[in-house]
C-alpha cells in the first residue's frame, strides 16, 4: 500500500481510540491515519475492543502500530473504564490522544484529561448522541474537555452545532482522504459471468437500511425493460442480505442483482463498474465514494452529507434525491444512454479527488491539529514539503502485528 510521506514525526506518541473494529469507514480512516503517522516516525498505539471482529487490528498488522485491547464498560457511565484508559495513556507516555465516534469521544476525553494529555475527537457521521438528552450532555462535556473536535463534513459540523448547541467555531472540518486507486484489469465481470454487452452498476456499503440498497434494486426494476443488459453488484455485508435477495426476486431480477459480500478488492470492483452508485439515506463523507472518484467511475449518488461538496455540486457526478427509486432510475438511464457524458463525469471526479481528497491532505490536516495542541517542533518540517509525495511501505501482511499488550 502506498502511504503518504508527511515529514519526520520522530518522538511524537499518538493513541487512536475507537470502540468498533469492523470494516467500516471510521475504522478505515484510523488504519490510514495511524499507518501514515507510523511511517513518518511517530509512535502509534490503537486502542481497540477485545470482543470486536479484529478487522482493524489485521489492517494494522506489519505497520509497526501497537495494539491495546480494552473490555467494553458494563455501565453507561463507568469511571473504572476511564481509569483503565488513563493507565494505558500513561504507560505508553502518549503525547496526544485521538478518539473516534461517540463512546470513545466521551471516555477518551475523560481519560486524556486525567492523564494530562491533549485530546482530539473525530465524528464520522453517526448522530447516535442526538437521540437522548443524556448523550447530548455527555457529548458537550467531551467537547469541552477536548482541545479539538473534528467533523468529516461541513453538514455534520452544522448538525453538531445545532444538536449540541455549541459554537460552530468549536468544530473543525477535516475531510476524509483515501489512497489514489489505480484499477487494473478487473476480474469481476468474469466472476459474475457477464457477457460483452452487459453493463454493470456497482455499489459498495454494508447492507443496512441507511445505505439505501433497497431503493437501488427498485430503480433497477424501473430500468429493466429499457436496459435489459444492466446488472447490479453490491459489495458489503449485513443483516439485509436475505431481504435484498428477496426484493430482487420479487422484481424478477434474481439473475441481475449480485450480492458480493464483504470484499477487500475494492479497486477490482470499481474497475468493472460502468457506473458507481451511492444510494444512501445518510452519510458523512463516505470513503467508497472517494475511492470511486479516484478510480474514475461515473457516479450517481444521493445528495446527503458532504456528497454534493465532494462531487462539486454535480459537476463531478450526478446528485439525486435520497430514497427515490424514480430519481435513481432517471439518473442511471441518462448515463447509460450517454457514454460520453459518463466518461466526462468520471474524468472530472478523478481530478476533484486528487485535488481535495488525497490521503496526504487528510493526514497533514490532522498533524496540524496535533501541532497546535502539542507544539512539537518535529512537526514543522511538514509544511515545507510538497502536498502529494508518497513512499512505499512493506506489505502489511508480510510481517506480524506490531507490539500488543
| Residue whose entry in the numeric block shows the C-alpha cell 453490491 | 234
Q: Quick one: pLDDT at residue 8?
A: 63
Q: Do domains 2-179+358-397 and 188-356 have the same CATH topology?
A: yes
* pTM, rounded to two decimals: 0.82
- CATH number, domain 2-179+358-397: 3.40.50.2000
Structural domain spans, the chain: 2-179+358-397, 188-356
| DSSP single-letter state for residue 191 | H
Q: Determine the pLDDT at residue 11.
A: 83
Q: Which of 370-376's residues contact partners 24+ apart within 8 Å by CB, and which partners?
A: 370/12, 370/14, 370/96, 370/118, 370/120, 372/147, 372/148, 373/96, 373/118, 373/120, 373/147, 373/148, 374/12, 374/95, 374/96, 374/118, 376/9, 376/11, 376/12, 376/95
SS3 of 121-176: the string is: EEECCCCHHHHCHHHHHHHHHHHHHCCEEEECCHHHHHHHHHHHCCCHHHEEECCC
- pLDDT value at position 381? 44
Comparing CA positions, the residue from 238, 17, 265, 266 lying closest to residue 142 is: 17
Find residue 278's DSSP bridge partners: 301
pLDDT of residue 387: 41
Instruction: Give 297-319 pLDDT, tens digit per residue.
Output: 999 999 998 999 999 999 999 99
What is the reported pLDDT for 390? Answer: 36
Is the CB of residue 281 less than 8 Å from the CB of residue 327?
A: no
Q: How far is Cα 290 from Cα 349, in angstroms, rounded to an integer?
A: 9
Low-confidence ranges of the chain (pLDDT < 50): 1-4, 376-378, 380-405
pLDDT at 391: 33
pLDDT of residue 24: 87
Q: Which fold has domain 188-356?
A: Rossmann fold (3.40.50)
- Tell me which residue of 101, 156, 108 sits closest to 129, measured CA to CA: 101
Amino acid at each position: 500500500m502506498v502511504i503518504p510521506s508527511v515529514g519526520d514525526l520522530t518522538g511524537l506518541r499518538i493513541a487512536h481510540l475507537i470502540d468498533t473494529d469492523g470494516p467500516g469507514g471510521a475504522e478505515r480512516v484510523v488504519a490510514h491515519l495511524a499507518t501514515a503517522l507510523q511511517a513518518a516516525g511517530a509512535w502509534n498505539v490503537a486502542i481497540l475492543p477485545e470482543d470486536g471482529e479484529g478487522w482493524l487490528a489485521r489492517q494494522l498488522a506489519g505497520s509497526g502500530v501497537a495494539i491495546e485491547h480494552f473490555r467494553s464498560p458494563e455501565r453507561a457511565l463507568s469511571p473504572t473504564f476511564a481509569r483503565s484508559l488513563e493507565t494505558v495513556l500513561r504507560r505508553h507516555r502518549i503525547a496526544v490522544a485521538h478518539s473516534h465516534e461517540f463512546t470513545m469521544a466521551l471516555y477518551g476525553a475523560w481519560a486524556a484529561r486525567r492523564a494530562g494529555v491533549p485530546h482530539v475527537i473525530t465524528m464520522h457521521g453517526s448522530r447516535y448522541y442526538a437521540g437522548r438528552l443524556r448523550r447530548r450532555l455527555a457529548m458537550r462535556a467531551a467537547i469541552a474537555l477536548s482541545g479539538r473536535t473534528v467533523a468529516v463534513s461541513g453538514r455534520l459540523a452544522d448538525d453538531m452545532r445545532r444538536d449540541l448547541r455549541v459554537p460552530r467555531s468549536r468544530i473543525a472540518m477535516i475531510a476524509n482522504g483515501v489512497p489514489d486507486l489505480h484499477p487494473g484489469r478487473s476480474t469481476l465481470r468474469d466472476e459474475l459471468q457477464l457477457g460483452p454487452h452487459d453493463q454493470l452498476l456497482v455499489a459498495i456499503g454494508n447492507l443496512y437500511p441507511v445505505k439505501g440498497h433497497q431503493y437501488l434494486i427498485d430503480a433497477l426494476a424501473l430500468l429493466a425493460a429499457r436496459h435489459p443488459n444492466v446488472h447490479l453488484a453490491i459489495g458489503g455485508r449485513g443483516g439485509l442480505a436475505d431481504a435484498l435477495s428477496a426484493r430482487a426476486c420479487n422484481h424478477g431480477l434474481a439473475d441481475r442483482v449480485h450480492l458480493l459480500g464483504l470484499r477487500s478488492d475494492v479497486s477490482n470492483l470499481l474497475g468493472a463498474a460502468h457506473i458507481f452508485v451511492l444510494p444512501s439515506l445518510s452519510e458523512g463523507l463516505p470513503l467508497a465514494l472517494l475511492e470511486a472518484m479516484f478510480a474514475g467511475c461515473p457516479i450517481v449518488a444521493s445528495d446527503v452529507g458532504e456528497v454534493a461538496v465532494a462531487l462539486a455540486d454535480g459537476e463531478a457526478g450526478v446528485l439525486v434525491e435520497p430514497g427515490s427509486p424514480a430519481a435513481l432510475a432517471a439518473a442511471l438511464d441518462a448515463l447509460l444512454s450517454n457514454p460520453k457524458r459518463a466518461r466526462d463525469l468520471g474524468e472530472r471526479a478523478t481530478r476533484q479527488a486528487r485535488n481535495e481528497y488525497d490521503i496526504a491532505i487528510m493526514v497533514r490536516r490532522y498533524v496540524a491539529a496535533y501541532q497546535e495542541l502539542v507544539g512539537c517542533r518535529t512537526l514543522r518540517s511538514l509544511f515545507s514539503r510538497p502536498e502529494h509525495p508518497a513512499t512505499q511501505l512493506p506489505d502489511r501482511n508480510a510481517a506480524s502485528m506490531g507490539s500488543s499488550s
